[in-house]
Structure 1
């Protein structure tokens, strides 16, 4: 298995035109169905958001959101007390915050059921590139296995697949997809390098690219 550094080099060498060709061949148009923003069965919506993305959302919205309004600890690896529901344990990275139904907190629907993102211009890279990912180790594969592939590009379940997409839109999406692949690998390398054991017997500890943090995004000294 190649190192994360080798995969990062491969991500930086990705050709945007080739990625756009693959996206065009698969086809995509967002139908605003909201499936990628909602809880799936009994599982809350889980989309990775990195520290810089959390801060960008905060800054672009005049700091109206605190850290926990935007992000929550990725749930994997955490234990919940059956009586109090308090969580303890250690996890890696952050997920977008959810509402009481498990949907993304920034997802909205109009009276006709048409979905919209209230932070659309500042949404995380994983949201901006859905339903696509690249086939590189160390990058995330959203919402299960791929349902279509073309070269390095994988497409995940979405009702918008197979629809016509313009070349300009495919190229823009491809450029963002490359940016995401690079960012995810840089983050993975930094998480590995910044990791250190921390006591989490009575609290949640999140390990991200900046070190170990409490659930409100504060670094643990």
Structure 2
């Protein structure tokens, strides 16, 4: 559901861009978002489609959620795909973890079509299908997105009370802000690590190793978590791709 962007600018430029994006998010009008919530009137019908890789790709975990998963099932996390950067030594870097899926693409916590940890479900699962971030459409135009999978799951045009609309707005903004904060801290830590250890981002190395990774090669990945980088080995079949 979530993921970073590869390093194409300097770390400081990326950090500044993410901070500006966070400012835009926090200034988004509450009444505008609530109007969209009311207009859509989404209600979950427990179809379970959002709990599959086919429908939503990977589930990116915030740090608190990663800690929660590790307490429940330690092997249920893996480095988030779409690695953000690579150094000249051939090590990838990524801003967090993703939730592991079963071979059929379903969430590892989905049992008999229902979430087995619903009362402890993760941040992105709590706010889904709502979102509040900007992204490019097929034409390249960048604009806000507030709903995922519109008309592809659940039911619509249901009445939603004012208090529930306000809760959805608060939790969605809180999730998106936490995601941006994690991305910012990741790039700050990566900038400092590269400066301290004399590392540099090499796009040619990134592209070559990604080609090898897609063909099944095992790669080294450093995952950002709680201010440090945790080392892993990853291969493509872990992601069911």
TM-score by length of 1: 0.68
Residue from 9, 17, 22 that aligns with 2:36 = 22
Select 1:37's aligned residue among 29, 51, 60.
51
1:179-218 aligned at under 5 Å gives the runs: 179-195=174-190, 196-197=193-194, 203-208=220-225, 210-215=227-232
Q: Give yes or no for contact 2:25–2:177 (8 Å, CA) kept in 1.
A: yes
Specify which of 160, 164, 188 is matched with residue 169 of structure 1.
164
Find the residue that maps to 2:131 and give its secondary structure.
strand
CA distance in 2, matches of 1:26, 1:32: 17
Superposition deviation, residue 98 in structure 1: 1.4
- Cα distance in 2 between the residues matched to 1:186 and 1:101: 32
Change (3 A) 1:215 1:123: farther
Corresponding pairs, count:
184
Match for residue 65 of structure 1? 73
Residue 90 of structure 1 and its aligned partner are, at CA, apart by 3.9
CA distances 1:69-122 after superposition (whole Å, capped 9, x unpaired) = 3x11112249xxxxxxxxx8443321112123221111122xxxxx32122233
SS in 1 for 2:98: strand
- Matches of 1:172 and 1:123 in 2, distance apart? 17
Map 1:41-190 onto structure 2 (within 5 A). Answer: 45-58=57-70, 63-66=71-74, 68-69=75-76, 71-77=77-83, 89-109=92-112, 115-136=113-134, 152-157=144-149, 158-160=152-154, 162-167=156-161, 168-190=163-185
Q: Residue 77 and residue 192 in structure 1: after superposition, are their counterparts in 2 closer, same or farther (change >3 A)?
A: closer
Distance 1:166 1:99 in 2: 34
Structure 1's consecutive aligned runs of 4 or more residues displaced over 4 angstroms after TM superposition are 197-202
1:138-195 deviations in whole A, cap 9, x for unaligned? Answer: xxx9xxx69xxxx955212132253314123322222211111111111111111111
CA–CA distance in 2 between the matches of 1:173 and 1:64? 26
User: Greater helix share, 1 or 2?
Assistant: 2
CA RMSD of aligned residues (A): 3.4
